[in-house]
Amino acid sequence: MAITNPFPQTTILIGTGETPLSLLFFLNVRSYMHICTFVHPYTQEILRHDLAEGQYFVTGKLTREIFADDCRFVDPTNDVTGLSKYLTALGVLFDPQYSKVELLDIRVVGPRQVEADWRLGGYLVFPWRPLVQPFTGHTVYTLNESGLVSEQRQTWSISAATALLESFTPSWGPRKQLF
């Protein structure tokens, strides 16, 4: 299904990706994709959906089409370059059945930046079932000249030491939903 939008030479295609609302946009290569000077309106919406509904921090399911293949993912405990590496790491970290991301806010803050505030907590998939108590975080998404996310940089309300300690602390008893 193709719809047009107010941006000249831009066609929006609604695709059928892993998430039900995957908005895949393919743009005229000579116009927008190589000379992007602003955040495309659908980028913020796709990120909102992937965080709030797709829960991509705990599921690894995100809309790959808005990320550069060589995107850099930085948080207080990791610095990974490459979309595939990042998704592999996410896929073996949180137990999606007992973990959750709550999107608190998402906004465009500059010509090539989107920021999101969120809360995350749950259980890791390690055999000792470590519990990550809910904490808040802030993510800055920086877009490259092609309009793709080239960097995702997170800060957390907990220290890297606390996050690592929780990762190696076993939990006892039945798992439960935290929020």
The closest of 85, 22, 68, 74 to 48, measured between CA atoms, is 22
In whole angstroms, what is the distance from residue 22 CA to residue 5 CA? 17
Please, what are the domains in the chain? Answer: 36-167 (3.10.450.50)
Sheet holding 67-75, edge to edge: 78-81, 67-75, 149-156, 131-143, 113-123, 100-110
Q: Residue 173: what pLDDT? A: 82
Per-residue confidence (pLDDT) for residue 178, from 0 to 100: 80
Look at residue 32 in the predicted model and tell me its pLDDT.
41
The radius of gyration of the chain's CA atoms, rounded to the nearest angstrom, is 17
Q: Which residues contact 81 (CB under 8 A, 6 or more apart)?
A: 70, 71, 72, 73
**Tens-level pLDDT at each residue, the chain (179 residues):** 343 343 434 444 433 344 433 344 443 333 344 445 568 879 999 999 999 999 999 999 999 999 999 999 999 999 999 999 999 999 889 999 999 999 999 999 999 999 999 999 999 999 999 999 999 999 999 999 999 999 999 999 999 999 999 999 999 888 887 88
